[in-house]
Structure 1
Amino acid sequence: MEVNCEGCAGCCLDWRSVLEAESERRTHTRRETSKNAANATRAPLDDDTNFVPLTRDEVRSFLEAGMAAALTLRFWHARAASEGVEIDGHSVAAIAGRPVFFIGLRKPPKPVAPFGREEPTWIPACVFLDPTTLQCRIHGGEHFPEECGAYPRHTLALEQETECERVEAAGGGDRLLADDVDGDLDGLLLGSQALGAKLFAHPRPDALEGIVDRAATEDLTADDRAECLAVAAASSPGTLVTSDHHYEQALDRALEQAQEPDTSWVEPAIREWQRRRDTGEEVPSPAIAKRVEDDRGAPETPGWDALE
């Protein structure tokens, strides 16, 4: 497998609106296909096209590093009423009466110019994506998600269309340079392997009242996220069991970080990006990330020249 990532970051942002005019037919076809597939399976409540699920150990690691603000959650609509739990007017997919969810990375709006575009645009982008270099700030580090490192190998092994190919079809260029993979799916965690390790089940559906509705409108609060982060951190791989001790420990840690958001660069940077986008000001240069993220302590990226 070989990919050309420079200037792309297609797997790290929701780029649908950026290339909509250039690829109206392709986008429409992909959305209809996605919608039909969702009707046959379970559609997520949110609209994130590139949600990266984290493992229990990765959730714990982010909490220990003081970066709970970087994380968010995903629920799904139940395929049938018998497979779900009714919360906030939604039939939420569940296992044994316990609503299931993923933990992933937040995507605040950032001024980016991917795919060779000259002018930046506000696009939902991974919290760790540097808008200037279009590189990941934690790539190769101890907190770099395993799922990110395996992309697009897992997708190719499952014989599904990669984001590289979608970007090529929508905007041209060569992104997926070689698609040969060994078919190794280690770490993908499919089926029952995912339970408690990547797919988490909340033991108290009543505790999710209000949270599910805010997840659907993408208006989650820090306390909402803390509740589900704690359950994920307390989960036991391969089972529905959660540890009360680990739950309380993780909840205290997440709530403490929510009460003191300025101890990490993550939450202040997200608030600044959202403020700038919501004020309707002219889209700034991606280089403003130096003030918004780097100066607050975000890890720097090497730039593409350093990788040649």
Structure 2
Amino acid sequence: MEVHCEGCAGCCMDWRPLTDGDAAGGRRRAALDDTTRESLDGDPNFVPLTRGEVRTFLERGMAAALTPRFWHAADEAEAVEIDGYEVASVADRPVFFVGLRKPPKPVAPFGREGESWLPTCVFLDPTTLQCRIHDSDLYPAECGAYPKHNLALEQETECERVEAAFGGDGDRLVDDSVPDDLEDLLLGSQAIGEKLFCHPVPERLEGIVDRVATGELTREDRAECLAVAAASSPGTVAISEYHYEWGKERALEATAADDADDAESWLGPAIREWERRREGASAADGGSVPPASIADDIETERGAPETPGWDALES
């Protein structure tokens, strides 16, 4: 696969507000057999992490970067009712993905002259529109597999959706050939316990499901879901109690440490600062948008990895 990403990052943000929500957006992330399910959170570009990736983020003290995704059930046979929602389940266990959070950031993708506040991947540098962890062992496998999974599933890629909405004459998806090796495309039962996680106690999700739908998740909510993901067993709905307790402790420790003045991770403080800035802009006259370069103060100065820039990649 070959893609031309400079100035784009359409797969790393929710750019629908730029089109008044009219553009058909969102990668198809098929882990359940029925593709009619709608997510509770409404994020069109949710990249699912594997169990191993979730554990790695927890080990690095980076739980603040992660969040769960649940779905509306396709029918009564698979539904578990929680907080008034019919939630998709497997064997009466609510199922969810774990992916990367998208705080609001001032970005100017697709050649736009001015920045706009858009939900943007926590690891995307707003200035260069490059991923801060692209060359690291934290880079999610699903990000690296895009857009070949879409093409293998005969689904429109984000490259094509961006071009349809903003132009570009086919210069983003440079090579649309699909590699033979697609072992990491986990579908249906293959995904269970590996990237589709089954919560063993639906009662523990009361309140959490509603906060997923309203975008008001707490650190405790996230810790509960991350613990289950870390404790899952590929191919089964079994949960390791040891890894559940470990995962929950790691998640809570990491997010609590983010509140300290000398927080070890830049993620939690940066996310809170982005949210504070966005709320402040909403209250201000005209809803002002700062330049993308403010990310130097909010992310880089807190320890976020810098990106190489596009000139460095071309040389």
TM-score between both structures, scaled by the size of structure 1: 0.93
Which position in structure 1 is the counterpart of 2:17? 17
**1:188 counterpart = 2:194:** no
Aligned amino acid, residue 65 of structure 1: R
**1:209 counterpart = 2:215:** no
Which position in structure 2 is the counterpart of 1:295? 301
Which position in structure 1 is the counterpart of 2:279? 278
Does the 8 A contact of 1:196 with 1:238 survive in 2?
A: yes
- CA change 1:298–1:40 in 2 (3 A) is closer
Distance in 1 (alpha carbons) for counterparts of 2:147 and 2:212: 27
2:236 to 228, 234, 239: 239
Q: Secondary structure at the match of 1:17?
A: helix
**1:198 counterpart = 2:195:** yes
Distance in 2 (alpha carbons) for counterparts of 1:157 and 1:42: 20
The CA RMSD over aligned residues, in Å, is 1.6
Aligned amino acid, residue 267 of structure 2: V
Which position in structure 2 is the counterpart of 1:179? 176
CA deviation after TM superposition for structure 1 residue 259, in Å: 1.5
1:123 to 102, 118, 140: 118
Q: Which runs of 5+ in 2 are unaligned?
A: 29-33
1:80 to 65, 75, 81: 75
Which position in structure 2 is the counterpart of 1:107? 102
Which position in structure 1 is the counterpart of 2:31? none
Does the 8 A contact of 1:72 with 1:225 survive in 2?
A: yes
Q: Which runs of 5+ in 1 are unaligned?
A: none
Cα deviation, 1:126-146, whole Å, max 9, x if unaligned, reads 000000000000002110000
**1:305 counterpart = 2:302:** no
Which position in structure 1 is the counterpart of 2:222? 225
Q: Secondary structure at the match of 1:307?
A: helix
Distance in 2 (alpha carbons) for counterparts of 1:182 and 1:228: 33
Distance in 1 (alpha carbons) for counterparts of 2:221 and 2:243: 18
**1:167 counterpart = 2:136:** no
Runs of 4+ with >4 A deviation: none
Distance in 1 (alpha carbons) for counterparts of 2:245 and 2:145: 32
What pairs up with 1:15-54 in 2 under 5 angstroms?
Answer: 15-20=15-20, 24=22, 27=23, 30=24, 41-54=36-49
Distance in 2 (alpha carbons) for counterparts of 1:2 and 1:53: 22
Q: Secondary structure at the match of 1:61?
A: helix
Does the 8 A contact of 1:197 with 1:238 survive in 2?
A: yes
Which position in structure 1 is the counterpart of 2:145? 150
TM-score between both structures, scaled by the size of structure 2: 0.91
> Structure 1 residues 103-112 or 175-184, which shifts more?
175-184
Q: Secondary structure at the match of 1:246?
A: helix
Cα deviation, 1:211-248, whole Å, max 9, x if unaligned, reads 00000111111100000000000000000100000100
Percent of aligned pairs sharing the same letter: 67
Which position in structure 1 is the counterpart of 2:86? 91
Distance in 2 (alpha carbons) for counterparts of 1:270 and 1:106: 9
Cα deviation, 1:261-290, whole Å, max 9, x if unaligned, reads 133100100011011110125211100100
CA deviation after TM superposition for structure 1 residue 183, in Å: 4.3
Q: Secondary structure at the match of 1:263?
A: coil
Does the 8 A contact of 1:19 with 1:171 survive in 2?
A: no
**1:267 counterpart = 2:264:** no
